[in-house]
Amino acid sequence: MPISGNIVVATYSHSGGNILVDNALPVEGLNANLNNLVFAYVRSFKLFNKLTKIDAVIPYSLGKYDALVNEEPTTVYRNGLADPQLRISMILLGVEPLKPQDYFKYQEKKFRLGVNFRFKIPIGAYNSDYALNVGTNRWTFQTGIGGAYTLNKKFIFEAHFNSWLFTENTDYYNGNYTQQKPLFGLQFHAAYIFKPGFWIAISAGKTTGGKLKVNDVLQDIAQKNSRVGAAIAYKINKHSGLKLAYTNGFATRTGADFNSIIFGYSYVWFDKK
């Protein structure tokens, strides 16, 4: 992507599956159905003579949860703003920070290497009287490094390593507090480009760590630590594009085993000369 680029993204996703809860709660068989709306803005620019992007993401969630609470069937709804997030990413190798008129004449290197830093702001909907919330009431920090290699201008292979750190939630349900250990993840992606703006991709990943403590007591929750997915993207015109994706696996915030389908629309423009 050239510098001085702007992208707005609107995404709808539906997720369903089981959520693993801590042993302190009288809850069994918790199942969730979530409808999520995400709005994002992306800006590209040059920093330290490197191509850099900053993303601002605002998610909104509408959730239905079914479970046995004290052995009684129970359904609750949780709707509201989830924790917004900011991310800054930088390409260290393989791409030059060029203006649009120069970028589209430029031949990218086959190998690219980048880093990113992301944090979530704990202002999402949260009430400590509820065992389930849309917001998390804690800060989340994520760092990552990733590399990509292009083969014959058609195939792209990527690998990403990420780590997540969490602050304490000092106002957890029923007067408790929680801590979560660091979480680490490794992801692999393979994409095939039919033509510029039209591609498909498959992905797989594994995570480890992230065990939860409630009042310093480690919870014996066996979290599924794998994820698979597929995506297809199509550029409608020089400004607009569509993306459809499917994922199955581990969700870092809730310890959930979800199936998700995601539909997104993006609009791109560049600053005038």
> What pLDDT, on a 0 to 100 scale, did the predictor assign at position 53?
97
Contact 247, 228 (CB under 8 A): yes
Cα dihedral 193, 3, 118, 129, rounded to 10, equals -90
Neighbour count for residue 183 (Cβ, 10 Å): 21
Mean pLDDT of the chain: 89
Local confidence band at 57 (pLDDT 50, 70, 90 cut-offs): very high
Query: What 3-state class would DSSP assign to 147?
Result: strand
Q: Please report, rounded to a whole number, the percentage of residues in the chain having pLDDT higher than 90.
A: 59
User: Considering the entire predicted model, what is its pTM?
Assistant: 0.88
| Residue 183: strand pairing partners | 164, 209
> What pLDDT, on a 0 to 100 scale, did the predictor assign at position 253?
47
Average pLDDT over residues 37-66: 95
User: Of the ranges 19-23, 45-49, 147-151, 268-272, which one carries the lowest mean pLDDT score?
Assistant: 19-23
Q: Which helix (H) or strand (E) holds 222?
A: none
User: Of the ranges 27-31, 77-81, 88-92, 187-191, which one carries the lowest mean pLDDT score?
Assistant: 27-31
Closest CA to 137 of 94, 198, 180: 180
d(CA 259, CA 13): 10
d(CA 128, CA 19): 18
Fold of the domain built from segment(s) 5-270? Lipocalin (2.40.128)
Give the sign of the dihedral formed by CA 15, CA 16, CA 21, CA 25. Answer: positive
Residue 190 tokens, joined? 């393979």
What pLDDT digit, counting tens, does each position of 239-268 carry? 999 999 999 875 544 456 788 999 999 999
